[in-house]
Structure 1
C-alpha cells in the first residue's frame, strides 16, 4: 500500500486567510488518496506537532503532498519553522553530501529520503500570467523557479519533485472552485497513479 503524508501549511489570518480554500484542497486530496488505496497521515502545522512524530512520518511516507497558501512569495512562517524544526534533527540526511576525500560528491547529495516524492499545491492571489513573463514581478521565472527554496528543502533530504499545482487569482471574486478541484484531481492522478 502506498503511503502519503499530507502537510497543511496554512496559517490563519482573519478576513484574508481563514483556511477554507486550503481545507477544500486537502479534503479533495484525502478523498482521492483513500479512494485509490493509499494509507494517509496528516499534519496540520498550525495546530501543533511533535517533532519526533513528524520525523517518523517523513520516514514512513512514500509521498508528501504539501498544501499551502503563498504569503509574500513563500511559505507561511509557521511552515518554515516546521521545516527548520523537523529537518534539522539530522534524521533525513547523512551530511550535506560533500566529502573531503571525494570531490565528486556534491553539496545537497546527502539526503536519506531517497525513493520518496513530493508535490507542492499552492493557493495564490497572483495571476498565472505573472509567471514565465519577463515583464512581470517574477522576471520570467516559472512557478517552480519562484518556489526554488521550498523545492530545494525537500530535495536536500533526497525527495524528488512531482508536478506542482497552483490555483491563482483567489481574491478576484470569480474563482470556480469546482473547476479548480477537478483540475487539482487530474494533477493528483498524473502524479500518484
Structure 2
C-alpha cells in the first residue's frame, strides 16, 4: 500500500522526529511504500494567497475559493500545491503527525490543508440538490482512503479525559478528524495520542513505539470512527441537521458518530 505521512514539527531531534523515523521504518519493513511531506524541511508556505495561482492579473480582486477553483480546473496552481495533490491521489492512507499546539495543529500544517485542499479537489464537488448536498462527509475525492492522526501533547492524559479541563481529546480533535479528514471522504481511524511528552524516558519511548507499531501494522484492518455519512439519510437536506429521530435530545460533537 502507499502511505503519505504529512509531518509538522520543526526539530528533527524531537520526540516527533524519532516517532516519524520509527513509523517510516515500520511501514517500509511491512512492504508499504512511504512518502513523507516534512513541511518545515520543505519550507512550506502556510498562507493561502493570490500567489497560489501562476496566472492571474496583479490588480484582480483575490477570492480564496473562486481563485482556487479556477487555478485547479485550469492547471494554474503553484507547483508545490499540485505536487501535494498528486501525493494525496497516490496514497492509500494518509497520516498527519503533529504536536498539539494551542488545541490544534501547527499553523504550517493548517496552511498545507488550506492550500492543498483546493476547490474542486477536496471540496465543492458533487451534486447539490434537495436530496444530495455535495460529495462530502463520507464521500468525495478521498473516499476509499484511510487517514490517521499521530498527535503529541504536553498535557496529561487526564487533562484530555471526559471531565478533564482541556476537554475530551475526541472533542479537541473533532474539527480535524471530522472536518479536515472525513469531510473530503477519508475513513478516519482512531488517533494515536502521546501525552506528557516532557516526561518520556527510554522505557516509555519503547512502550510508545510498541503501541504505535501495532497501530501501523493494523492500518488497513482497524475499524474507522463511525461518523455519520451526510447523504445516507441521517440528516435533513439542505438544512444538514440531524433528523429528529436520530439521537433525540442529544447535542454536541458526539451526535455525529453513530
- For the aligned pair, the TM-score class normalised by the smaller chain equals 0.7 to 0.9
Question: Contact 1:62 / 1:117 at 8 angstroms: preserved in 2?
Answer: yes
2:163 matched to 1:164? Answer: no
Higher Rg of the two aligned structures: 2
| Greater relative CO (CA pairs within 8 A, separation 6+) | 1
Instruction: Identify the residue that residue 145 of structure 1 maps to in structure 2.
Output: 171
How many residues in Structure 1 have an aligned counterpart in Structure 2?
182
Q: CA RMSD in A?
A: 2.2
Give, in angstroms, the shift of residue 34 of structure 1: 0.7
Say which SS state the counterpart of residue 89 (structure 2) adopts.
Answer: helix
Instruction: Identify the residue that residue 4 of structure 1 maps to in structure 2.
Output: 3
Question: Contact 2:27 / 2:217 at 8 angstroms: preserved in 1?
Answer: no
Instruction: Identify the residue that residue 33 of structure 1 maps to in structure 2.
Output: 27
Question: Contact 1:118 / 1:159 at 8 angstroms: preserved in 2?
Answer: yes
Unpaired runs of 5+ in structure 2? 45-79, 222-258
TM-score (norm 1): 0.84
Unpaired runs of 5+ in structure 1? none
Q: In the aligned structure 2, how far is the partner of 1:160 from the partner of 1:30?
A: 21
Q: In the aligned structure 2, how far is the partner of 1:116 from the partner of 1:160?
A: 6
Q: In the aligned structure 2, how far is the partner of 1:9 from the partner of 1:90?
A: 25
Question: Contact 2:124 / 2:134 at 8 angstroms: preserved in 1?
Answer: no
Instruction: Identify the residue that residue 207 of structure 2 maps to in structure 1.
Output: 179
Question: Contact 2:12 / 2:18 at 8 angstroms: preserved in 1?
Answer: no
